[in-house]
Amino acid sequence: MSATITAAAAGSAASASVASAAAAASASAVAAAKASAIAAALAAELPPLSQTIGALFVGWGISTLVFGMFCLQTWTYFTRYPSDSIWNKMLVSLIWALEVTHQALIGHACWTYTTTDFGHVEAIFLEETVWCVSAVVLLGAVVGAIVKLFLGYRVYKISKGNYLWFGIISSLAISQLGTAIAFSVQASQVLISELIKLKTLGTVSLSLGAATDIVTALVLCFYLHTMRTGYRRSDGVINRLIVFSVNTGALTSAFSLSVVVLYQVMPNNFIFIAIYFLVCKLYSNSCLATLNSRRFVGGRGTDAQANTDGSSHALAVLPGGPRSRQVTLNDLEGKDSKANLQIGVRQEVSVVRDDKVPTLSYTDLKDALERPVAF
């Protein structure tokens, strides 16, 4: 009797086990079928590899080259300006550290999509966005905001303390950073194929960045133009600064707008992501180029004509008149000229009468006074 009960119990357990296994197998089959259906649907609409993995690889390669240019500019800054402000050195060091991290994250994203998921292109679109891609967006926004605030402070100094424009530029930069943070957080929670749902947020963020660059360049050009004196030497320096400001703002804003357009037109591939890799590098290079160009715009392009100890160098000492003024590197770089020593360049001719020294004639005196000063 007991043997019969035991056998029945064993048979019941076996039946339950078989039923459980069958249910699990059925669930697995359903999940596999569903995944296969999704994969097939995506595969039918997947862009070619040249627009996904290929674009990502090209973006990584070009960003590596631009990162190398940034490292060269960083080395140039520290060797050319050893006595520069400690705040400028801290700024450059911070940007360099962020750029190293940014480039490493780009490399990790490329490794994941080209090596870890090699041969499974559809898996890229069935999985959540790799965390390093969201981190790249976040770090790029942080670097961009730092550079924008640096240029905004430059506008503040050149405009002799205009809080309005500094507030506008700072507000745009901080707003762009906030929207970029929101985009990166939401992007980490969706599939790559679903990034199109964040199109509005991404467009607003990139548009704010481009608007900040354009406003900064225009305001810088305006205040630099008001510093023109009508004299060729000082105006030449100002003209070079204007051209530099326009080119820098145009380059960064053009790339930001390119990302916006590509994101709107082709949101299902990686081309807009590859272009975005470069935007952060362009901001960093523009910041270092601004710092490294101070010697060039202040003289004739030689390093021997500049000093970085905070003193002011006069670019031109102009004669009296309604438009006369002295333009210094402090004015152009936004430094407070009241706190620094201004060094002027004057031409003096002394007439000394002595039995052993010949008298300077009126013609010689006139020629000496009319002779231009060699800087």
- The domain limits of the chain are 49-305, 312-370
What confidence tier does 10 reach under pLDDT thresholds 50, 70, 90? Answer: low
Q: What is the pLDDT of residue 287?
A: 92
Residue 53 pLDDT > 60, yes or no? yes
Residue 49 pLDDT > 90, yes or no? no
Phi (first) and psi of residue 301, to 5 degrees: 95, 10
Tokens of 124: 């890229």
Q: Which of 179-183, 198-202, 361-365 is least confident?
A: 361-365
Mean pLDDT across the stretch 87-99? 96
Task: Say which residue, 121 or 301, is predicted with more confidence.
Answer: 121
Beta strand 312-316 pairing with 327-328: antiparallel
What confidence tier does 362 reach under pLDDT thresholds 50, 70, 90? Answer: very low
pLDDT digits (tens, 9 = 90+) for 247-298: 777 888 889 889 888 888 887 778 888 899 999 999 999 999 889 887 765 5
- CA 343, distance to chain mean position in Å, is 35
SS3 128: strand
What confidence tier does 109 reach under pLDDT thresholds 50, 70, 90? Answer: confident
- Count of CB atoms within 10 A of residue 103's CB? 23
Mean pLDDT across the stretch 333-360? 47
Q: Which of 35-39, 106-110, 367-371 is least confident?
A: 367-371
- Counting every residue written for the chain, the total comes to 375
The sheet that has 327-328: what strands, in order across it?
Answer: 327-328, 312-316, 342-343
Q: Taking the C-alpha atoms of 59, 138, 207 and 273 in order, what is their torsion angle to the nearest 10 degrees?
A: 20
Q: How far is CA 193 from CA 21, 122, 274, in A?
A: 34, 10, 16
CB hemisphere CA count around 202 (13 angstroms): 26
For residues 148 and 241, what is the distance between their CA atoms, to the nearest angstrom? 17
Q: What is the pLDDT of residue 319?
A: 38
In the predicted model, what is the mean pLDDT of the chain?
74
Mean pLDDT across the stretch 41-67? 79
Residue 54 pLDDT > 90, yes or no? no
Whether the model clears a pTM of 0.85, i.e. scores above it, the answer is no
- CA 293, distance to chain mean position in Å, is 17
- Count of CB atoms within 10 A of residue 127's CB? 14
Q: What is the pLDDT of residue 43?
A: 52
For residues 363 and 360, what is the distance between their CA atoms, to the nearest angstrom? 8
Q: Are 150 and 91 in contact (CB under 8 A)?
A: yes
* CATH class of the domain defined by 49-305: mainly alpha
Mean pLDDT across the stretch 57-76? 94
Q: How far is CA 17 from CA 11, 113, 129, 210, in A?
A: 10, 41, 39, 64
Q: What is the pLDDT of residue 260?
A: 87
Task: Say which residue, 223 or 196, is predicted with more confidence.
Answer: 223
What confidence tier does 302 reach under pLDDT thresholds 50, 70, 90? Answer: very low
What confidence tier does 110 reach under pLDDT thresholds 50, 70, 90? Answer: confident
Mean pLDDT across the stretch 79-87? 92
Residue 56 pLDDT > 70, yes or no? yes
Residue 73 pLDDT > 80, yes or no? yes
Residue 123 pLDDT > 90, yes or no? no
What confidence tier does 230 reach under pLDDT thresholds 50, 70, 90? Answer: confident
Residue 199 pLDDT > 50, yes or no? yes
Mean pLDDT across the stretch 301-314? 40
